[in-house]
Chains A and B, each alone.
Chain A
Amino acid sequence: MHHVVEKKTYYIVSAWLMLLLVLTVAAAQRDLGAANVPIALAIAIAKAILIVLFFMHVRYGSPLVRLFAAGGFFWLLIMLGFILADVQARFSGW
């Protein structure tokens, strides 16, 4: 009736999450200039995607569930995007 994910899959995903944690700490200790923030965010997004797809079973879910899962983050991007664009444009002289 439901997809039962192999234990091995969970262990591999977990190992990747730990690896990405080590990576984000290591990257933060180096001065990469403007690249520090995008790298930290990219790693966080990669971790979130792994959790959503495997632990939260979206990879095995129906198209409707995938749409709902993506929807929340899509609205978040709209909110963040417009707020940051506004801040940048309105106070660019600061």
Chain B
Amino acid sequence: MTTEAHVAHHFDDAEQQYAAANLGMWLFLATEVLFFGGLFAGYAQYRYWYPTEFAAGSRRLDPTLGAINTAVLLTSSLTMALAVRAAQTNDRRGTVRLLALTIVLGSVFLGVKAYEYYHKYDENLIPGRSFSLSTGHGDSGDLTTLDSSRGVAEAREIDEGPVQIFLSFYFAMTGLHAAHMVIGIGLLGALLAAARRGAFSSDYFTPVEMTGLYWHFVDIVWVFLFPLLYLIR
């Protein structure tokens, strides 16, 4: 396959076409940064107002599962980067294999996420009328908090309202993130089919690189979600 075969008529050459695609993708990602940024801004504002309740809500999440999912997603970014490299170096089998591996890791992430959501449902932690902090959780330490700043065991009741706000942010932010993952896995599936046909080579790998940019961006969102949601003291 010649390089020229892939160049649309309004581009001078393959290099210019690639640069245009790359720049367009980064512009799209800038809008995505601001899309998620609105949720992060809302989160920061409410956490500033309700630090104790946000911490109480965060304690109901499982940081071990969150950390495992972070590792899974970071690894999927590595396999994605290697898939792009394989396409760049005409390694067709490697491209197919690494794209498949990335899909598997992304699916593992979503599986863990689904398990976590089900668990929240089971413990009545879905914001709404049946929300309750005391269901399915024997540890009464979640209902009260110790004021460590005074060095005395001064316990006070946690207001459930702002805890629901925390969990609303949790579901909205991780839900939007998961939706991006689902789209990403769909894109990877299409790439996988194209890669099997031998559509990509060192002359033309733009779709692999652009999907990679999207995948890494979604990874970055999670890199911020993990400490902000799971690791509040």
The chain A residues found within 8 Å of chain B, CB to CB, are 1-2, 4-5, 7, 10-11, 13-14, 17-18, 21, 24-25, 28, 31, 36, 40-41, 43-44, 47-48, 51-52, 54-57, 61-62, 64-65, 68-69, 71-73, 75-76, 79-80, 83-84, 87-88, 91, 94
Contacts and interface: CB of A to CB of B under 8 A. Distances in A.
B223 A51 contact: yes
Interface string B78-119: 101110010011000000000000000000000000000000
Contact of B49 (A4, A18, A51, A94): A94
Contacts of A71: 30
Nearest to A67: B26
B233 A36 contact: yes
Contacts of A57: 209
Contacts of A13: 78
Interface string B137-156: 00000000000100000000
Contacts of B27: 68
Interface string B36-49: 01101100110011
A25 B67 contact: yes
A21 B70 contact: yes
Nearest to A73: B33
Given A2-B18, A55-B216, A72-B30, A40 B228 contact: yes
Contacts of B19: 62
B23 A79 contact: no
Contact of A4 (B18, B38, B89): B89
Contacts of B124: none
Contacts of A55: 77-78, 80-81, 212, 216, 219
B74 A18 contact: yes
A79 B228 contact: no
Given A1-B202, A28-B231, A76 B33 contact: yes
A87 B71 CA distance: 34
Interface of B: 14-15, 18-19, 22-23, 26-27, 29-34, 37-38, 40-41, 44-45, 48-49, 63, 67, 70-71, 74-75, 77-78, 80-82, 85, 88-89, 148, 202-203, 209, 212-213, 216-217, 219-220, 223-224, 226-228, 231, 233
Interface class of chain A by DSSP: helix
Contacts of B38: 79
Contact of B30 (A40, A75, A83): A75
A21 B29 CA distance: 24
Contacts of B89: 4
A6 B40 CA distance: 35
B85 A7 contact: yes
Given A65-B26, A80-B40, A4 B88 contact: yes
B30 A68 contact: yes
Q: Counting chain A CB atoms within 10 Å of each CB, which of B26, B37, B49 scores highest?
A: B26
A4 B81 CA distance: 11
A51 B78 contact: no
